[in-house]
Amino acid sequence: MTIALYGGSFNPPHPAHVRAAKTAYDALRPEHFIVMPAAEPPHKAMASGSPDAAERLELTRIAFRACEWAEVSDLELKRGGASYTSDTVRELMGMYPGAEIVLVMGADMLLSFELWHEAAFLLKSCRLAVMPREDGGTEELRSCAARLGQKYGAEIAILDAAPMPMSSSELRGLLKQRRGEDILDPDVYARIIRRRDYGSKPSLSWLREQVRPWLKSSRVPHVLGCEQEAVKLAARWGEEQDEAAEAGILHDITKKLSMPEQLLLAEKYGIVFDKFERTNLKLTHAITGAAVARDLFGVDDRVCSAIRWHTTAKPGMSLLEKIIYMADYIEPTRDFPGVDALRELAYRDLDAAMALGLEMSLEELREKGTEPHPASVNALLFFRKDETR
């Protein structure tokens, strides 16, 4: 029986990991191909913002879910502590007496193999299957393999495969720059963004596509307009533009849901609506939308709060909260008496625009015979006082 062991930190797991594993599987055709995420890699510290071992295991299982020939194992996680390959090999020897174990690894691992814990034991107990280097360097690999073979009696094969230019460290850098969605497995990427692991931030184009199924087609132009206006207002007033874009994209994510659906979300997220909110979808969607945005896309407190208060407003709003409230009000598809004056004011005096916008909103409610939410009334009082300071 042959067992191929492909270990690593998988931080995060990416398509080159999967392709390397498939290349090794096709070359070796082992009875068991084991993908082994390390609990605690002994050779390097985990990068800042990395998820814990259990989450890396789950990401790796997602990345390899279509590989029916591979088993993603939690053996090293259950053992805990530093994940030495020699300890894992001994466990596998006990589980599969007499089995031949092949260690699958990258070129750099071979070149530094003698630095591994119990390297001599591994070289005498296992075969090695090595992926080629991205920059060529085949002769260096062959020379290293020959030297290790002569010194330890090691059996080392350099696999015939195209180089796979991708690294987890580069991907972690891309994730911080709102990139990487076109590289990672879609479900791996979505899970990373949901948890904001690695300091990740969502690609805005990806975020728009994720939100679209939540929206009625008639609402899409408004949401795109709100994002556009939020970014412009953020640029004018010195707010973080990408966070304004996130809030603009997500602000109406639950708008199309019915009241029974809103109530189900409220139950799920532990939300208690007041007497105004229980009967008004315009109010409930801001609250449930903030909860959904946090749950599905990991938005931070500032973005979550901007979504939460984009309908009623409140006293003492943050700059981002004011920007999203105003962007929702004056985005390019809005057309009502006074909108042009409100737009002009928003770029000249944002707090004065908040006061005017709230006055217009409350007047509209009075004309309809609708009692306004106290948060809106108090917000108007706050911004009126602010104008007189």
Residue-level pLDDT, tens digit, the chain, 389 residues: 999 999 999 999 999 999 999 999 999 999 999 999 999 988 888 999 999 999 999 999 999 999 999 999 999 999 999 999 999 999 999 999 999 999 999 988 999 999 999 999 999 999 999 998 766 668 889 999 999 999 999 999 999 877 767 889 999 999 999 999 999 999 999 999 999 999 999 999 999 999 999 999 999 999 999 999 999 999 999 999 999 999 999 999 999 999 999 999 999 999 999 999 999 999 999 999 999 999 999 999 999 999 999 999 999 999 999 999 999 999 999 999 999 999 999 999 999 999 999 999 999 999 999 999 999 999 999 999 865 55
Q: Taking the mean position of all CA atoms in its chain, how far away is CA 341?
A: 40
pLDDT for 45 equals 86
Residue 351, pLDDT score: 97
pLDDT for residue 137: 66
- The pLDDT of residue 56: 98
Question: Residue ranges of the alpha helices (H) in the chain?
Answer: 15-28, 53-63, 75-79, 85-95, 107-111, 119-125, 138-152, 168-176, 186-195, 204-211, 220-237, 241-250, 259-269, 281-297, 301-308, 319-330, 339-346, 350-368, 374-388
pLDDT computed for residue 320 by the predictor: 99
* Residue linked to tokens 């879910």: 65
Residues 2-168, CATH architecture: 3-Layer(aba) Sandwich (3.40)
Per-residue confidence (pLDDT) for residue 238, from 0 to 100: 98
Which residues have CB under 8 Å from 340's CB, separation 6+? none
Architecture of domain 217-388: Orthogonal Bundle (1.10)
Burial 256-267 (b: 16+ CB within 10 A, else e): ebeeeebbebbe
pTM of this structure:
0.93
Residue listed under structure tokens 């090695």? 128
Tokens of 8: 């690593």
- In the chain, residues under CATH classification 3.40.50.620 are 2-168
Cα separation of 169 and 280, whole Å? 48
Question: Which among 324, 298, 327, 319 has a CA at the least distance from the CA of 309?
Answer: 324
Where do you find CATH 1.10.3210.10 in the chain? 217-388
Q: Which two tokens stand for residue 116?
A: 């591994």
pLDDT score of 387: 58
